[in-house]
């Protein structure tokens, strides 16, 4: 098992290039099951979560080949319909094979998903949506089993206790492409990754309207064909490097970043004192010697992303004053607080909120990653902490960041990987 070692205190400068979006790639890979034809997906990041999805499809009998960011998929001969616990248990996004399998094969058997420990994340909206399309669903020995001779379009409301669901929207949208009639998803997620999936499905021959809105209309077709597609770049990776530049008082150009995907983050950072400028596909960040505190809440897109909450908390831990972050997507997503406090931060949890009293300086310490984005927050804290920080369990980080230590090293950080 690996750990990351960081000698803090270096100011980040230079240019960093953003990789393809993990959260767009995973459902797009699953969507390839909807056709027997070959699909080719470019800009696929080299991440452990991508490898897990490849293994799941291979377990179904799909042929795949990954080479230099290009994933070629040949689903013509796949006969399987079961996604096994040993793979699905490691990654929540595995559930997005459920919709394509039941739409294409008429049966799906998918283990209840795992992934990061960030609080309860039920799949009730997935099941509600597919049942609305006519699938018969039961839970059997830890597996979701869904059956349908032919799905039928319907108006489906996908609102949950904490807003819309990205993966539930993806699952229902994929299944609806082969359903008879028209499906209307109300309170659909409109994150860029959902739009990217819809655009891929349209390239496959699907008839979809309303992506980028909370009402998506899908007119079912009899069959889809293969497609060649380039996925969007990763807005969460881009946001993490923007925050890394700001926390180190650095000056960094983020290449391949779309400011339209990061409006809430940019607004918060400008309010905190950072300078941010952009072109069509780059974002320039210059940190400030005095970070201002803020009050903010995570919300569905275009609100502040829950996947940047931990990294923002690391930044605010060294701001000059008291900040408050309220988590409205996953109210229990605060396991990073105790580890940041080990490094000298002063953070208290009050219900779904964290109260951050900024300190002048953090200090390096041995810490442990609890989930993917908490790992990134500890890296950011380590970049500005005095002395050495050692982060254990960085396999979490490898799920969502392609070559993070190499990219940070090229920006001037003193960071490397060692065996624990």
Q: Could you tell me the domains of the chain?
A: 2-19+233-419 (3.65.10.10), 22-230 (3.65.10.10)
pLDDT for 211-246, tens place per residue?
A: 999 999 999 999 999 999 999 999 999 999 999 999
Count Cβ neighbours within 10 Å for each residue of 341-369 and write b for 16 or more, e otherwise.
Answer: ebbbbebeeeebbbebebbeebbbbebbb
Residues that are catalytic? 116
Q: Which residues in 215-312 belong to E strands, given as ranges? A: 215-219, 228-230, 251-255, 275-278, 282-286, 295-298
How far is residue 65's CA from residue 171's CA, in Å, rounded to a whole number?
24
pLDDT at 117 (0 to 100): 45
Least confident of 33-42, 163-172, 372-381: 163-172
Query: H or E segment at 166?
Result: helix 166-176
N residues, the chain: 420
pLDDT for 100-132, tens place per residue?
A: 999 999 999 998 875 444 444 578 899 999 999
**Averaged pLDDT, 7-26:** 97
**CA 249 from chain center: how many Å?**
26
Residue 163: pLDDT above 80? no
Strand partners, 368: 392
Q: What angle do CA 217, 44, 333 make, to 5 degrees?
A: 75
How far is residue 224's CA from residue 36's CA, in Å, rounded to a whole number?
8
**Averaged pLDDT, 388-406:** 95
Confidence band for 92, pLDDT divided at 50, 70 and 90:
confident
Q: Are 2 and 395 in contact (CB under 8 A)?
A: yes
How far is residue 270's CA from residue 264's CA, in Å, rounded to a whole number?
10
- Residue 270: CB atoms within 10 A of its CB come to 12
Query: H or E segment at 17?
Result: strand 13-17
Backbone angles phi, psi at 212, to 5 degrees: 85, 0
Structure tokens that stand for 162 in this block? 């904490």
Backbone angles phi, psi at 183, to 5 degrees: -110, 135
In the β-sheet with 251-255, what is the strand arrangement from edge to edge?
Answer: 13-17, 251-255, 282-286, 275-278
How far is residue 94's CA from residue 87's CA, in Å, rounded to a whole number?
8
How far is residue 269's CA from residue 246's CA, in Å, rounded to a whole number?
8
Structure tokens that stand for 83 in this block? 């996604």
Picking from 367, 192, 359, the residue whose alpha carbon sits closest to that of residue 291 is 359
Give the pairing type, strands 82-83 and 70-74: unpaired
How far is residue 375's CA from residue 208's CA, in Å, rounded to a whole number?
37
Q: Does 71 or 94 have the greater pLDDT score?
A: 71
pLDDT for 326-353, tens place per residue?
A: 999 988 899 999 999 999 999 999 999 9
pLDDT at 116 (0 to 100): 45
Residue 60: pLDDT above 50? yes
What is the chain's percent helix, strand, coil content, to nearest 5? 35, 30, 40
Burial class (CB in 10 A: 0-12, 13-18, 19+), 13: middle
Q: Does 105 or 94 have the greater pLDDT score?
A: 105
Percent share of the chain, pLDDT over 70: 98
Structure tokens that stand for 159 in this block? 């609102």
> Residue 292 carries which DSSP code?
P
Residue 64: pLDDT above 90? yes
Structure tokens that stand for 406 in this block? 């190499």
Residues 6+ apart with CB under 8 A from 122: none
Residue 53: pLDDT above 60? yes
Structure tokens that stand for 33 in this block? 């099951």
Handedness of CA 247, 252, 257, 263 (dihedral sign): positive
Percent share of the chain, pLDDT over 90: 87
**Averaged pLDDT, 128-144:** 93
Give the pairing type, strands 353-357 and 82-83: unpaired
Q: Does 162 or 213 have the greater pLDDT score?
A: 213
Structure tokens that stand for 28 in this block? 């797009």
């Amino acid at each position: 098992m690996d750990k990351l070692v960081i000698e803090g205190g270096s100011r980040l400068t230079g240019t960093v290039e953003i990789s393809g979006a993990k959260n767009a790639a995973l459902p797009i890979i699953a969507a390839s099951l909807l056709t027997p034809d070959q699909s080719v997906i470019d800009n696929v990041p080299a991440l452990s979560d991508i490898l897990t999805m490849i293994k799941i499809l291979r377990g179904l009998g799909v042929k795949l080949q990954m080479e230099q960011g290009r994933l070629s998929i040949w689903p013509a001969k796949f006969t399987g319909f079961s996604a096994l616990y040993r793979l699905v248990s490691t990654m929540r996004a595995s559930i997005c094979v459920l919709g394509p399998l039941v739409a294409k094969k008429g049966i799906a058997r998918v283990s209840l998903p795992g992934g990061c420990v960030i609080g309860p994340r039920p799949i009730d909206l997935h099941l509600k949506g597919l049942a609305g399309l006519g699938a018969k669903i039961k839970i059997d020995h830890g597996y979701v089993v869904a059956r349908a001779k032919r799905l039928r379009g319907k108006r489906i409301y996908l609102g949950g206790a904490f807003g819309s669901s990205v993966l539930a929207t993806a699952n229902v949208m994929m299944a609806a492409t082969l359903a008879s009639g028209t499906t209307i998803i109300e309170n659909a997620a409109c994150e860029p990754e959902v739009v990217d999936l819809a655009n891929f499905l349209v390239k496959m021959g699907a008839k979809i309207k309303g992506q980028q809105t909370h009402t998506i209309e899908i007119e079912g077709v009899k069959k889809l064909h293969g497609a060649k597609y380039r996925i969007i770049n990763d807005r969460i990776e881009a946001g993490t490097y923007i925050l890394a530049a700001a926390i180190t008082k650095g000056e960094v150009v983020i290449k391949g970043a779309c400011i339209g995907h990061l409006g809430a983050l940019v607004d918060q950072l400008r309010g905190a004192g950072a300078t941010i400028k952009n072109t069509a596909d780059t974002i320039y960040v210059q940190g400030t010697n005095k970070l201002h505190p803020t009050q903010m809440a995570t919300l569905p897109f275009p609100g502040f992303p829950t996947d940047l909450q931990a990294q923002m908390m690391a930044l605010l831990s060294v701001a000059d004053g008291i900040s408050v972050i309220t988590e409205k997507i996953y109210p229990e997503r605060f396991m990073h607080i105790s580890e940041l406090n080990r490094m000298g931060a002063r953070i208290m949890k009050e219900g779904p909120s964290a109260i951050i009293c900024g300190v002048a300086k953090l200090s390096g310490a041995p810490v442990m990653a609890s989930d993917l984005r908490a790992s990134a927050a500890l890296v950011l804290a380590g970049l500005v902490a005095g002395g050495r920080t050692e982060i254990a369990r960085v396999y979490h980080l490898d799920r969502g960041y392609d070559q993070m230590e190499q990219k940070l090293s090229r920006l001037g950080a003193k960071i490397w990987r060692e065996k624990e």
